[in-house]
Amino acid sequence: MNRKVYIQSAGFSPDQDYTWITYEGGLYKQEKPDYLYEMNYIVQSEAFSVVLACHKKNIILLVTGLKTKDRKDYHGRSIRNSIAWVSSYEEQKKFRELAAEIIIDSITEKKIWDYIDDAVKDAGNTWGYEVDSQKLIDLLDKEKVEIKNNIPVTYEEIRKKYCKNNRIAKNNPFRLKELACELIYCDDKIFGNILKRNSSIIIAVTDKKSKDKFIEKNVFRGLSNLVDSDDWIDLSQNKNNYILLILLLGIIIILFFVIKILRS
Amino acid sequence: MLPVLIAAGILGAVIGVALSKAGDLQKIAKGKKVNISNNNVTICMLGPRAVGKTSLLTSMYEQFKDKSKELNLQLTSDIETREILDEYLKNLKNLFNNSNDIFQCDAFYIREGKRIYTFKLGKSDKVPSLQLNFIDYMGNYLQSEQDFVLDIVIKSQVILIAIDTPALMEKNGIYNDLINKPDLVKNFFAKGQDKINQPRLIIFAPIKCEKYIPERSKEMVDKIKNSYRRLLDIFSSDALKDKIAAVITPVQTLGNIRFAKYEIKNGIACPYFTKTNNDYSPVDTEQPLFYLLKFLLNLHLDYRSVSWNLFSFLRDFFGEDEHLKDAIEKISGECKKNRDGFEILQGHRWL
């Protein structure tokens, strides 16, 4: 278990633009998390977004666009934080729970935003900010209070509704809660299979991203305000209908030849 | 019966795959017919952090969209581009809701990587025939991802250099090097000049220049020439003088918001602005696109003189879309020159 946390933020000065850093061995280091480009490809990173992904046997939770309360750049523009937690795949349950907590928090009191905001402060170093990395890593182990208060469903209920196909929908509080439920209650075995199947992006929650990108990247669950359906769209459904149609067409053609042969 | 059904299924699947392949081929063939994949113009937005690249792009798109309707043209974009630029626009307009006498400009902007904004231009109700790809990216890429920026500079047909005008004009320009980084901008052309073998349009776009136009236009132009002197020397060198067209097109992205003062905080000069009116009313924001289209049209007319791979689509393009050609001829007449800070610096034959 080798947990690592990366933060992207900016400083006050014109030369302190957004930079990813990590804190390791008592030192800050400029470094981006692995797989960042692919994760950002399927979200609008300047807006609040959540991505859960797996890469090289690691599990990654990326959260972007977290507005800070008081930190601004020299131009008066509000600074936004992004954060990525990375660990080995064995910790996937903790990552799912934290993702669910952050999703629920985004539609309630945004306490986690404040918590992260408190962990990132202006500083006089190269990047213009410093991070309390331990405070951010601790989030993985903290009791998930928001979830208990906001998801009044049981494991059995979610099992009944569970859909193993890829699904996308418009980003709204109902779908966010359902997604959080799935992340919490979906058992490790099922989730393990999803990870094997996708081997990349598992969930993506964002503001403005076209559904084509979710389809292109085979996202297991995608929520975006540019998806035009409030209800889940089952992406495998269309594919299944297409296969069924082709099978039917094949049967008709064969029957046509069989009848022709029988008649002659 | 079961073997028959299985055989039917397999046959059906084979037919299905064949049909879908045929569909793809048809799509590709259609693409070739409208030639849209070839009619691409790539525009690189070049400028350091917070000079206003994304605001420029937003207001340019918005104003040109209105103008294109007058000419029976349509400027379309994919849903993602449209929605994001609409949000940026809302943000720009929100600046006018500020109740303070002087204020700073909080804006929504790119904080990660790059983004390509794609617009398609053509006659209304027809398949658009020209595709414009604007490449926007984080300002600090000029320092942290120099190979990436250099590659875009070399490959783009048009390069739009955004300039923070107050940094150039106020306090004898003491903040200019810190904010606009003209030498850093110059370095990309110094490194890439050997690879620039075909024509390029360079647009210098002073932004946040409302305070200086028209009274101090000449001073602004002189300061741009002076600040970017080393870059202009590269453009006028023997290697590039016949390939580069360069123009200054001042852009007032907000219209009624003017630079007020710098306030020093933590040793950094922070810009403050003031409203002269409550209406968002951008001025000349469509002009960079007018110049871009005029450049394409004139290259087309000049085509026989040289063979240019990057613009090879221009050989037939305007012949196939007479309406767009007529519209661009009209637009060309509306390119501002020699007033309000507009000035062609070189490559007059294409501008």
Cβ distance B220 to B212 under 8 Å?
Answer: yes
Cβ distance B200 to B84 under 8 Å?
Answer: no
DSSP per-residue string spanning A60-108: EEEEEEEEEEEEE-TTSPEEEEEEEEEEEGGGHHHHHHHHHHHHHHHHT
Number of domains in chain A: 1
Q: What percent of chain B has pLDDT over 90?
A: 44
* pLDDT at residue A160 greater than cutoff 70: no
CA gap B39, B36 in Å, rounded: 5
CA gap B291, B333 in Å, rounded: 10
3-state secondary structure of B297: helix
- Residue A105 C-alpha, separation from nearest chain B C-alpha, in angstroms: 23
Please name the residues between 168 and 227 in chain A that touch chain B, using a CB distance below 8 Å: 208-210, 225-226
Burial of residue B79 (number of CB atoms within 10 Å: 0-12, 13-18, 19+): middle
> What average pLDDT does this structure show over B26-50?
61
Sequence-ordered strand ranges (E) for chain A: 4-9, 19-24, 27-30, 49-55, 58-72, 78-88, 120-122, 129-131, 167-169, 201-205, 221-223, 233-234
By C-alpha distance, which of B189, B140, B143, B181 is closest to B162?
B181
Per-residue pLDDT band for B24 (boundaries 50, 70, 90) equals very low
* pLDDT at residue A7 greater than cutoff 50: yes
Nearest to A46 among B110, B265, B266 (CB): B110
* Residues in chain A closer than 8 A to B264 (CB atoms): none
**Domain housing A202:** 4-231
* Residues in chain A closer than 8 A to B107 (CB atoms): 75, 77
B270 at the A interface (CB within 8 A)?
Answer: yes
CA gap B331, B297 in Å, rounded: 10
* Residues in chain B closer than 8 A to A38 (CB atoms): none
Q: What was the pLDDT predicted at A241?
A: 65
What letter would DSSP give residue A180? H
A7 CB-near residues (< 8 Å, 6+ apart): A20, A21, A22, A81, A82, A83, A120, A129, A131, A133, A136
B18 CB-near residues (< 8 Å, 6+ apart): none
CA gap A41, B115 in Å, rounded: 10
Count of beta carbons in the 10 Å neighbourhood of residue A152: 9
Q: What was the pLDDT predicted at B29?
A: 31
| B18, containing H or E segment | helix B2-34
Cβ distance B254 to B52 under 8 Å?
Answer: no
CA dihedral A65, A68, A71, A75 (to 10 degrees): 40
ipTM: 0.79
What letter would DSSP give residue B163? E
Per-residue pLDDT band for B33 (boundaries 50, 70, 90) equals very low
Whole-angstrom Cα Rg for chain B: 23
B16 at the A interface (CB within 8 A)?
Answer: yes
CA dihedral B117, B123, B126, B127 (to 10 degrees): -30
Across the interface, whether the CB atoms of B269 and A45 are under 8 A apart is answered: no
Per-residue pLDDT band for B122 (boundaries 50, 70, 90) equals confident
DSSP per-residue string spanning B41-77: EEEEEE--TTSSHHHHHHHHHHHHHHHHHHTTEEEEE
Q: What was the pLDDT predicted at B35?
A: 36
Amino acid at B60: M
Phi/psi at B347 (5° precision): 75, 40
DSSP per-residue string spanning B123-157: ETTS---EEEEEEEE-TTHHHH-HHHHHHHHHH-S
What's the angle, vertex CA B277, arms to CA B223 and CA B168, rounded to 5? 15
Q: Look at A90 and B202; give whichever has higher pLDDT.
A: B202
Which chain B residue shows the shortest CA-CA distance from A47?
B108
Across the interface, whether the CB atoms of B12 and A12 are under 8 A apart is answered: no
CA gap B181, B187 in Å, rounded: 10
Cβ distance B150 to B165 under 8 Å?
Answer: no
By C-alpha distance, which of A233, A240, A28, A223 is closest to A125?
A28
Q: Are strands B130-137 and B40-46 parallel, antiparallel or unpaired?
A: parallel
* pLDDT at residue A217 greater than cutoff 80: yes
CA gap A261, B156 in Å, rounded: 64
Burial of residue B344 (number of CB atoms within 10 Å: 0-12, 13-18, 19+): middle
* Residues in chain A closer than 8 A to B8 (CB atoms): 247, 250-251, 253-255
Across the interface, whether the CB atoms of A64 and B112 are under 8 A apart is answered: yes
Per-residue pLDDT band for B137 (boundaries 50, 70, 90) equals confident
Q: What was the pLDDT predicted at A191?
A: 67
CA gap A219, A212 in Å, rounded: 10
Q: Which two structure tokens, joined as six digits, stand for B263?
A: 């306030």
CA gap A201, A52 in Å, rounded: 6
B102 at the A interface (CB within 8 A)?
Answer: no
What letter would DSSP give residue B10? H
Q: Which two structure tokens, joined as six digits, stand for B257?
A: 């918001």
Which chain B residue shows the shortest CA-CA distance from A253?
B8
Q: What was the pLDDT predicted at B3?
A: 55
Q: Which two structure tokens, joined as six digits, stand for A49?
A: 């977004």
Domain residue spans of chain B: 1-34, 39-350
Q: Look at B111 and B19; give whichever has higher pLDDT.
A: B111
Q: What was the pLDDT predicted at B19?
A: 41
Length in residues, chain B: 351
Per-residue pLDDT of A51-88, as tens digits, reads 999 988 899 999 999 989 999 999 888 999 999 999 99
Phi/psi at B165 (5° precision): -70, -40
Q: What is the pTM of this model?
A: 0.83
> What average pLDDT does this structure show over B212-241?
96
| A31, containing H or E segment | none
Nearest to B12 among A10, A76, A250 (CB): A250
Residue A170 inside a domain? The answer is yes
Across the interface, whether the CB atoms of B15 and A249 are under 8 A apart is answered: yes
* pLDDT at residue A95 greater than cutoff 80: yes
Cβ distance B332 to B290 under 8 Å?
Answer: yes
Which chain A residue shows the shortest CA-CA distance from B116?
A41
B207 at the A interface (CB within 8 A)?
Answer: no
By C-alpha distance, which of A29, A31, A50, A154 is closest to A112?
A50
Q: Which two structure tokens, joined as six digits, stand for B297?
A: 């049209």
Per-residue pLDDT of B159-196, as tens digits, reads 999 999 999 999 999 999 999 999 999 999 999 999 98
Pick the CATH number of B39-350 from 3.40.50.300, 3.40.720.10, 3.40.50.720, 3.40.50.360: 3.40.50.300
* pLDDT at residue B31 greater than cutoff 80: no
By C-alpha distance, which of B339, B139, B334, B162 is closest to B253?
B162
What letter would DSSP give residue B283? B
- Residue A16 C-alpha, separation from nearest chain B C-alpha, in angstroms: 8
- Number of inter-chain CB pairs under 8 A, A vs B: 123
